[in-house]
Amino acid sequence: MKAIAWTKYGAPEVLKLQEFEKPSPKNDEVLIKIYASSVTVGDCRLRALKVPMGFWLPTRLVFGLTKPRNPISGMDISGEIESVGKDVKLFEKGDKVYGTAGMKLGANAEYICLSENSALVKKPNNITHEQAAAVLFGGLAAIHFLRDKAGIQIGQKVLVNGASGAVGTASIQLAKYLGAEVTGVCSTSNTKLVESLGAKKVIDYTKNDFTRNHETYDVILDTVGNLSLKQCKKSLTKQGKLILINTGLLVNLLSVFRKNVICGVAGESKENLGFLSERIEAGDIEAVIDRVYPLEKTSEAHRYVDIGHKKGNVVISVEHKET
Ligand SMILES: NC(=O)c1ccc[n+]([C@@H]2O[C@H](COP(=O)([O-])OP(=O)(O)OC[C@H]3O[C@@H](n4cnc5c(N)ncnc54)[C@H](OP(=O)(O)O)[C@@H]3O)[C@@H](O)[C@H]2O)c1
């Protein structure tokens, strides 16, 4: 099978299309024919080892000390089950599924084997494989931080900084679904998009600084990494919470002692994926796709995501030439 070989940390050029042996499923695994995967900021940071301060060593310990342990890049997939291991009960051949390989990686490929118990569920029928692969990264992060950690309540005021990115576009929609009054912070060219996703107010960060507008919010989600508690204190209500998802190890550790700061890493679970599917089926959350690249242009997709101004998500489309 064809896949994107990731043999060393570095610039996008380290990613190369190569031939690999097609995997076969273990007893508890399913073999998935991948139709779409994605390139996220997470993938790019990992590729270049450009991680928030303090995470350099932990990242190397998890993903490979001197070079990547898994030789194939990518986390999120959407595809069709081609075969199942003998103990698999949750899926059968022909099921259309989407999910994430997470830290196991291997998604930028024609095929992948995943345990039936991993974060993998049937794909909603009302979206394409490309939309499914796109919505995973931001959708799962939004559910983890806004629903599970911040516990957003109906009528609360929520501000999303970086509202036009993968996490931002999903967060605006989820917060609205949860009954919040949502404000999105983005640049001029993205204000229409953010409004269309359900933000009641949009603040253009090139013209206004929300920390000086005398408004207060119950939850502030910073996806950009340019906010701190000190900066946001006046913009939070008394019980308000600041979510920092793009911050260094020290702030992550200190957040354990701060009631009003939420950090950490979004986990991926079948349950949260199921909830995401329900929201997609009900039309509450839709995928925002900026660009679609073919598998062989994955390194080009990385170069684009590296620029830091994508709108929503970047998808890798996988074409299977029937033999
Ligand atoms: N902790 C976790 O578990 C977790 C989970 C998921 C993601 N993350 C992290 O979250 C971060 C965001 O991920 P993402 O995928 O959403 O990124 P992304 O899609 O690359 O976000 C880029 C967006 O940020 C906007 N932006 C840039 N500078 C801005 C500013 N000063 N103010 C407001 N918006 C600004 C850009 O809009 P313009 O083009 O308009 O500037 C662009 O649309 C990444 O660092 C990622 O690693 C962490």
279 part of a folded domain: no
Mark whether 143 and 258 lie in a shared domain. yes
- Dist. CA 40 → ligand 1 center (Å): 10
Long-range pairs for 225-234 at CB < 8 Å and ≥24 separation?
225/52, 226/161, 227/161, 229/258, 229/260, 229/261
Domain containing residue 205: CATH number: 3.40.50.720
Look at the chain and count its residues. 323
Q: Are residues 112 and 31 both part of a single domain?
A: yes
What average pLDDT does the structure give for the chain?
96
Same domain, yes or no: 45 and 60: yes
Least confident of 108-117, 172-181, 225-234, 278-287: 225-234
Ligand 1 centroid to Cα of residue 41, in Å, is 8
* Ligand 1, CB within 6 Å, residue ranges: 40-42, 45, 138, 141, 161-162, 164-168, 185-187, 190, 205, 223-226, 245-246, 265-266, 308-311
Mean pLDDT of 267-275: 95
Q: What percent of the chain has pLDDT over 90?
A: 94
- For residue 280, being part of any structural domain is answered with no
Are the CB atoms for 29 and 86 separated by under 8 Å?
A: no
| Lookup: tokens for 113 | 């084997």
The answer to pTM > 0.75 is yes
Specify whether 244 is located in the same domain as 297: no
Q: What is the largest CA-CA distance in the chain?
A: 63
Backbone angles phi, psi at 271, to 5 degrees: -60, -50
**Quick one: pLDDT band at residue 293, thresholds 50, 70, 90?**
very high
Q: Is the dihedral of CA 199, 52, 237, 174 positive or negative?
A: positive
Q: Please state the rounded mean pLDDT for residues 212-228.
A: 96
Distances (CA, A) of 11 to 44, 45, 110, 207, 257: 9, 10, 23, 33, 37
Nearest CA to ligand 1 atom 12: 223
Total of domains in the chain? 2
At residue 218, the pLDDT reads 98
- Is there a single domain that holds both residue 177 and residue 216? yes
Q: Phi, psi (5° rounding) for residue 234?
A: -70, -15
Provide mean pLDDT across the span 279-285.
Answer: 98
Task: Decide: 184 and 203 in contact? Cβ < 8 Å.
Answer: yes
Whether 212 and 157 map to the same domain: the answer is yes
DSSP 108-137: SBSEEEEETTSSEEEPPTTS-HHHHHHHHH
Select from 172, 185, 186, 205 the residue to mutate for testing ligand 1; criterion: most ligand atoms less than 8 Å from CB.
Answer: 186
Based on the fold, state whether residues 129 and 180 are members of the same structural domain. Answer: no
- Percentage of the chain exceeding pLDDT 70: 100
| Gap between the Cα atoms of 193 and 312, Å rounded | 10
Task: Output the pLDDT for position 321.
Answer: 82
Tell me the angle at which helices 41-48 and 298-306 cross, rounded to the nearest 10 degrees.
Answer: 100
d(CA 54, CA 249): 5
Residue 13 confidence (pLDDT) above 70: yes
For ligand 1, the distance from its centroid to the CA atom of residue 156, given in whole angstroms, is 23
Do 295 and 252 share a domain, yes or no?
no
The CATH number that applies at residue 82 is 3.90.180.10
Q: What is the mean pLDDT of residues 301-319?
A: 97
Residue 114: count other Cβ atoms within 10 Å of its Cβ. Answer: 26
Give the tokens for residue 43. Answer: 């993938």
Do 182 and 129 have their domain in common?
Answer: no
- Does residue 277 form part of some domain? no
For 140-156, how does the pLDDT look when each residue is reduced to its tens digit (9 = 90+)?
Answer: 999 999 999 999 999 99
Range from 111-120, 133-142, 164-173, 250-259 carrying the lowest mean pLDDT: 250-259
Question: Is residue 322 situated within a structural domain?
Answer: no
Whether residue 322 has pLDDT greater than 80: no
For 51, the domain range is 2-135+286-317
Question: How much is the pLDDT for 17?
Answer: 98
d(CA 156, CA 175): 9
For residue 271, is pLDDT > 90?
A: yes
pLDDT of residue 323: 57
Distance from Cα 223 to the centre of ligand 1, integer Å? 5
Triad 125, 127, 131: Cα angle to 5°: 145
- Using one digit for the tens of pLDDT, what is the confidence trace for 71-104? 999 999 999 999 999 999 999 999 999 999 999 9
Say whether both 111 and 174 belong to one domain. Answer: no
